[in-house]
Amino acid sequence: MAGPMKMRATLSGGVTDVRVLMTHPMETGQRKDPDGKLVPLHFIQNVTLKVNGKTVVESQISQGISRNPVFTFRIKGGAKGDRIEVSWIDNHGETNQTETAVA
Amino acid sequence: MRSKVTPGDQSPLKNRPNASPVVSGPQPVNGLAAIVLKPFAALAATWNKDGFGAKTAADALKTLGASNPVASRDVVIEAPQIAENGAVVPIEITSNVPGTTSIAVLIDKNPFPLVGKFDFMEGALPFVKLNAKVGETSEVRVVAEALGKHYVATQEIKVTIGGCGG
Amino acid sequence: MKKLFGFCVLLGGAFCASLPAQDAKKEIQRYREMVAEGSPAELFEVEGEALWKKPQGPHKVSLEKCDLSLGAGVVKGAYARLPRYFKDADRVMDLETRLLHCMGTLQGRKREEAAARVFGSADRPSEMESLSAYIAAQSRGMKMAPGLSHPKEKEAYAMGRAVYFHRAGAWDFSCASCHGEEGKRIRMQDLPVLYKPEHARPVVSTWPAYRVSTSQFITLQWRMNNCYQQMRMPEPDFGSDTTVALILFLTATGKGEPYRGPGTKR
Domain that holds residue C195: 39-265
Task: Report the residue of chain B nearest C209, measured CA to CA.
Answer: B166
| CA distances, C73 to each of B138, C62, C65, C84, C98 (Å) | 50, 10, 4, 16, 13
User: Residue B129 sits in which domain range?
Assistant: 55-159
Residue B32, pLDDT > 60, answer no
Question: Model pTM?
Answer: 0.83
Same domain, B120 and B70: yes
C66 given a catalytic annotation: no
Contacts of C209 in chain B (CB under 8 A): 166
Query: What's the domain count of chain B?
Result: 2
- Chain-chain contact of C43 with A68 (C-beta, under 8 angstroms): yes
Contacts of A59 (CB under 8 A, 6+ apart): A46, A47, A48, A49, A71, B116, B117, B118, B119, B128
Assess whether B75 and B145 both reside in one domain.
yes
Q: Has residue B30 been placed in a domain?
A: yes
- State the nearest Cα–Cα gap between A66 and chain C, in angstroms: 9
Distance CA(C228)–CA(C157), nearest Å, equals 19
Least confident range of B14-28, B41-55, B105-119, C157-171: B14-28
Chain B contact set for A72 (CB, 8 A):
92, 127-130
pLDDT tens digits along C222-242 = 999 999 999 999 999 999 999
* Contact in structure between A18 and A75 (CB atoms under 8 Å): yes
Residues B107 and B26 in one domain: no
**All chains having 3 or more CB pairs closer than 8 angstroms to chain C:** A, B
pLDDT in tens, C106-122: 999 999 999 999 999 98
DSSP class of residue A27 equals B
Identify the pLDDT of residue B159: 93
Using CB atoms, pick whichever of B92, B161, B164 lies closest to residue C10.
B161
Task: Calculate what percentage of chain B has a pLDDT beyond 70.
Answer: 70
Q: Which residues of C touch A (CB under 8 A)?
A: 38-40, 42-43, 46-47, 50, 122-123, 215
Q: Looking at residue A64, what is its pLDDT?
A: 97
Q: Which residues contact B98 (CB under 8 A, 6 or more apart)?
A: B146, B147
Would you give the DSSP letter of residue C260? -
Secondary structure (DSSP) of C166-214:
--BTTTTB-HHHHHSSTT-EETTEEPP-TTSHHHHHHHHTT-SEEETTT
pLDDT grade for C266, boundaries at 50, 70 and 90: confident
DSSP C88-106: TTTEEE-HHHHHHHHHHHT
Any B CB within 8 A of A12 CB: no
The string of pLDDT tens digits covering residues A37-48 is 999 999 999 999
Chains that touch B (3 or more CB pairs under 8 A): A, C
CATH number of the CATH domain containing C242 = 1.10.760.10
Q: What is the tally of structural domains in chain C?
A: 1
User: Are residues B142 and B113 both part of a single domain?
Assistant: yes
Over residues B35-54, the mean pLDDT reads: 70
Residues across chain A: 103
Report how far residue A74's alpha carbon sits from residue B122's, in angstroms, rounded to the nearest whole number.
12
Task: State whether residue B7 sits within 8 Å of chain A by CB.
Answer: yes
| Helices vs. strands in chain C: H and E counts, helices first | 10, 9
- Residues of chain A neighbouring B119 (CB-CB closer than 8 A): 57-59
CATH number of the domain at B80, please: 2.60.40.2470
- Answer whether A25 sits within 8 Å of C43, measured CB to CB: no
CA A66/CA C122 separation, integer angstroms: 13
Q: Which of A19, A22, A25 sits opposite C123 (nearest CB)?
A: A25
**Banded model confidence at residue C21, pLDDT cuts 50, 70, 90:** confident
Q: Residue C72 pairs with which residues in a beta bridge?
A: C67
Instruction: Compute how many other C-beta atoms are within 10 angstroms of the C-beta atom of residue C23.
Output: 13
